[in-house]
């Protein structure tokens, strides 16, 4: 899959742009602060309907403007689709595919994108929430209703936490917990089951990629850490997952009443990376953590290909700031041989050996984008 063109109006620092892309490598270069990353963000918004950088969508609209508009043509499954994204300060956002309004949670209408940036290291060294978010973003590939499932679970979790807070205040909210417990267990068990299956698929790609990028043979594993399962595995039957969830909820009831929050469930889970038996989050060097994060993103490319039959669009933001020259070339060669690539840099000369007739080079300066060559 690939993006043929992009028209944007009032996105971040750009008033209006109309750009055509090639199907292989598109390189945006310019000084820091000129808006190179904003272009990648616009491309991601067009493909998925959300930003990969912020949850505050009002920030996407150019200062003092009332709304933004994105449009582009993309190739997916050898078919041409027209994607549109509209965001207003006053009205709900809109996404259209071939002029038909589509739901933002429907992954079948996405033009899949995978982003690479210096911040990816937080996938390894950051909080469990970072890894849960990363894993959950992949699961709609294998279950289109996964986004709805997570949304419903969060709603039930919020209601249950509210009842726990009432019980703490002596208002007998605990009387109604049973019905919410049942819903929490049903939805939460499905989420855990899908995560276990998804993590197993991700691990199959990660095992091949990490040794290649690190440059040595090693044994690697992605291990799911559950708040209620002792030995979490994708082979566990759903009924066994539910029973374990119920049992742990009962054991934690007194602590939950005291803390006024739900202490058991997929919202408390995590996964960690083992390399030769060592947990990289706790004991890995910064270099090992960065390579592990990079390998997770490369494994993501394989996941999309596995399900969609084609590689997603790759967005590489300032990879020169954290990777040595050998790994820069390795990363670019890996993704360039598999997918359309959008790359930002302040030093285009570093990528001269990768430039070819299939490369489009753009200079980003003073809120404009100029194609060169």
The 10s digit of each residue's pLDDT in 258-317 is: 999 999 999 999 999 999 999 999 999 999 999 999 999 999 999 999 999 999 999 999
Q: Which residues contact 353 (CB under 8 A, 6 or more apart)?
A: 329
The confidence score (pLDDT) of residue 336 equals 82
Contacts of 251 (CB under 8 A, 6+ apart): none
Residues in Cβ contact with 232 at an 8 Å cutoff, skipping those fewer than 6 apart: 192, 196, 224, 225, 226
Q: Provide mean pLDDT across the span 344-357.
A: 84
Lowest mean pLDDT among 36-45, 93-102, 149-158, 347-356: 347-356
Taken in order of first residue, the domains within the chain and their CATH numbers are 1-112+312-373 (3.40.50.300), 127-308 (1.20.1050.90)
Average pLDDT (195-215) is: 95
Give the integer Cα–Cα distance in Å for 239 and 241. Answer: 5
pTM of the model: 0.92
Query: What confidence tens digit (pLDDT) does each residue in 163-191 have?
Result: 998 876 655 556 678 889 999 999 999 99
Compute the distance between CA of residue 348 and CA of residue 174 in angstroms, rounded to an integer: 62
C-alpha to C-alpha distance for 69 and 15, rounded to whole angstroms: 10
Supply the pLDDT for residue 172: 59
Mean pLDDT computed over 196-200: 97
Rounded mean pLDDT, 250-257: 92
pLDDT (mean) for 6-24: 97
pLDDT one-digit tens code per residue, 121-170: 999 999 999 999 999 999 999 999 999 999 999 999 999 999 998 876 65
Q: Output the pLDDT for position 175.
A: 66
Percent of the residues in the chain that have a pLDDT greater than 90, as a whole number: 82
Q: How confident is the model at residue 236 (pLDDT cuts 50, 70, 90)?
A: very high
**Residue range 96-110: mean pLDDT, rounded:** 94
Smallest Cα–Cα separation from 287: which of 210, 206, 199, 346?
A: 210
For residues 211-222, give the mean pLDDT: 94
The end-to-end CA distance of the chain, in Å, is 25
Q: Nearest 5 degrees, angle CA 37-CA 117-CA 133?
A: 110
> For residue 201, what are its two tokens?
């698929």
Residue 61 makes CB contacts below 8 A (sequence gap 6+) with 10, 11, 67, 68, 87, 88, 89
CB-based contacts of 160: which residues, under 8 Å, 6+ apart?
177, 180, 181, 184, 262
């Amino acid at each position: 899959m690939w993006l043929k063109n992009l028209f944007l109006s009032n996105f971040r620092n750009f008033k209006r742009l109309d750009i055509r892309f090639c199907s292989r490598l598109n390189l945006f270069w310019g000084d820091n602060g000129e808006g190179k990353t904003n272009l990648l963000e616009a491309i991601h918004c067009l493909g998925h309907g959300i930003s990969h950088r912020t949850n505050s969508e009002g920030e996407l609209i150019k200062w003092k403007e009332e709304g933004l508009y994105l449009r582009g043509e993309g190739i997916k499954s050898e078919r041409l689709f027209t994607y549109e994204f509209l965001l207003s300060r006053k009205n709900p956002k809109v996404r259209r595919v071939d002029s038909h309004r589509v739901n933002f949670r429907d992954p079948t209408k996405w033009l899949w994108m995978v982003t690479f940036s210096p911040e990816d290291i937080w996938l390894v060294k950051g909080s469990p929430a970072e890894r849960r978010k990363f894993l959950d973003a992949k699961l709609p590939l294998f279950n289109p209703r996964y986004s709805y499932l997570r949304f419903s679970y969060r709603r039930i979790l919020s209601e249950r936490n509210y009842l726990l807070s009432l019980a703490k205040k002596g208002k007998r909210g605990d009387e109604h917990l049973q019905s919410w417990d049942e819903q929490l267990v049903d939805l939460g068990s499905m989420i855990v089951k899908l995560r276990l299956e998804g993590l197993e698929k991700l691990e199959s790609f990660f095992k091949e990629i990490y040794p290649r990028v690190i440059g040595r043979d090693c044994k690697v594993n992605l291990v799911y850490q559950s708040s209620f399962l002792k030995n979490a595995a994708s082979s566990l039957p759903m009924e066994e997952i539910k029973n374990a969830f119920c049992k742990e909820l009962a054991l934690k009831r007194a602590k939950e009443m005291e803390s006024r929050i739900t202490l058991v469930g997929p919202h408390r889970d995590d996964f960690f990376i083992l390399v030769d038996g060592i947990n990289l989050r706790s004991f890995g060097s910064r270099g090992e953590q960065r390579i592990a994060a990079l390998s997770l993103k490369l494994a993501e490319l394989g996941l999309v290909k596995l399900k969609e039959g084609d590689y997603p669009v790759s967005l590489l933001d300032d990879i020169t700031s954290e990777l040595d020259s050998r790994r820069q070339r390795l990363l670019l060669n890996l993704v360039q041989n598999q997918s359309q690539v959008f790359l930002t840099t302040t030093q285009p000369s570093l990528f001269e050996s990768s430039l070819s007739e299939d490369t489009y080079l753009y200079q980003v300066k003073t809120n404009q984008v100029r194609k060169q060559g």
